Structure formats: C-alpha cells, structure tokens
Structure 1
Amino acid sequence: MALDLFAGIPVTEYAAALEWYERLLGSPPAFLPNDTEAVWELAEHRYVFIEQRPGRAGHALHTIFVDDLDAIVAQITERGLDPAERETYSNGVRKITYRDPDGNEIGFGGAPL
C-alpha cells in the first residue's frame, strides 16, 4: 500500500509562521499550494504543512523521530530557536519540543544514546 502523510499545522499569521518554520526545519518550503499554505517534505511522501486558519491555530501536536537528535537540535539552535521543553522517558527516548508563535508544539524525538 502506498502511503503519503500530510500533517497540518493551523497558524494565525502566515508570513510570521512561514519564517519561523523555515528556521525550525532549515529550509524554505518544498512547495506553496496557495497564498496561505506552505508544505515541507520531511522524507519521501511525508510532509508537514502550515495553513493560515486563525480559528484553529495553536492546537497542533506533532513529533518527528530522527536518527541524530543532538545534531538536529544543534542545527535548530544555530538558526536561533530554543526548545521550550526537554524530556527523557523511562525507556531512554528523548523528546525536544518547540512551540511556534501560536503555541503549536513540534517535537523531535530520538532513541536513547
């Protein structure tokens, strides 16, 4: 079965969110479907997108698992964003959470060291 994933993040102000997500994800969007939506391809057939939808903004909760959590966090820090929260679960899995200007939570997780 072929599978594509589009994970949406509603935002209040498109322009401000676009800048913030470019810093978080380290690149401009892969494509812009319209004037109020931007899409990043995180991996083949796996996308995250922002869309200006003020009435729904601030409620997204997404976690992206990566191979090298420390490297990703260091790169994001170099781009001027600091984590809102750092967690280590009882099984050793770590999660670093960022919050966009609307309060949407984007976490990056990684396996134990």
Structure 2
Amino acid sequence: MAIDLFAGVPVTDYGAAAAWYEQLLGAPPAFLPNDTEAVWELAEHRYVFIEVRPEHAGHAMHTVFVDDFDARLAQIAGRGLEPAERETYDNGVRKATFRDPDGNEIGFGGAPV
C-alpha cells in the first residue's frame, strides 16, 4: 500500500514562515499550491506544508525521525538555527525540537548513539 503524508503547519506570516522553514529544511519549497501555502518534500511522498491560518498558528507538533540525526542538526546549525530543546529518552532515543516564529514545534528524532 502506498502512503502519502502531508503534515500541515498553520502560520500567521507566510513570508516569515517560508523563510524559516527553508532555513530549517535547507531547501526552497518543492511546490507552491497557491499564495498561502508552501510545501517541502522530506522524503518520497512525505511532505510538510505551511498554510496561512492565523487562528490556528502555534499549535502544530511534528517529529521527523532521521538516520543522520547528528549530521542533520549540524547542517541546521550551519544555517543559523539551534533547537529550543534537546532531550534523550530513557531508551536512548534523542530529540531536538525547533520552534518556528509562531511557536509551532518541529522535532527531529534519532536512534541512540
């Protein structure tokens, strides 16, 4: 069974949010469906998108697990962003949480070292 995933993030300011997500994800949007949305492809058929929806902004919570956790965080730091929080769970899984200008949480998780 094929699965496509679109994870939405409501934002108040399209320009500020688009610039921040481009900085976080290291690439411009994969496509722009209209003038209030931008979509990034994280992996084949797996997307995160921003949409101007001020009444809902600041409430998204998404975590993306990656194989290259340390390298990913280093790349993001190289683009000028640092996580708001870092956690290591009892089972050794690590998580770094970033917050966009509206306070939406985008986390990256990685397997134990």
Does the alignment reach a TM-score above 0.5?
A: yes
Q: CA deviation at 1:20?
A: 0.1
> Would you say 1:54 and 2:29 are equivalent positions?
no
Distance between the aligned counterparts of 2:102 and 2:72, measured in 1?
22
TM-score, length basis structure 2: 0.99
Shift of the alpha carbon at 1:89? 0.1
Paired with 1:76 and 1:12, the residues of 2 have a C-alpha distance of: 23
Q: Which residue of structure 2 lines up, in the alignment, with residue 68 of structure 1?
A: 68
Q: Give 5+ residue unaligned stretches, structure 1.
A: none
Aligned-residue sequence identity (percent) comes to: 80
- 1:68 positional shift: 1.1
Q: Distance in 2 between matches of 1:49 and 1:68?
A: 22
| Matched positions, count | 113
For residues 103 and 26 of structure 1, the distance between their equivalents in structure 2, rounded to whole angstroms, comes to 19
Moved over 2 A (4+): none
CA root-mean-square deviation: 0.4
What amino acid does structure 2 have at the position aligned with 1:94?
R
Runs of at least 5 residues in structure 2 that lack an aligned partner in the other structure: none
| TM-score, normalization by structure 1 | 0.99
**Alpha-carbon distance between aligned partners in 1 of 2:17 and 2:86, rounded to the nearest angstrom:** 22
Q: Secondary structure at the match of 2:58?
A: coil
Match of 1:77 in 2: 77
> 1:76-112: CA deviations, max 9, x gaps?
0010111100000000000000000100000000000
The 5 Å alignment of 1:1-113 reads 1-113=1-113
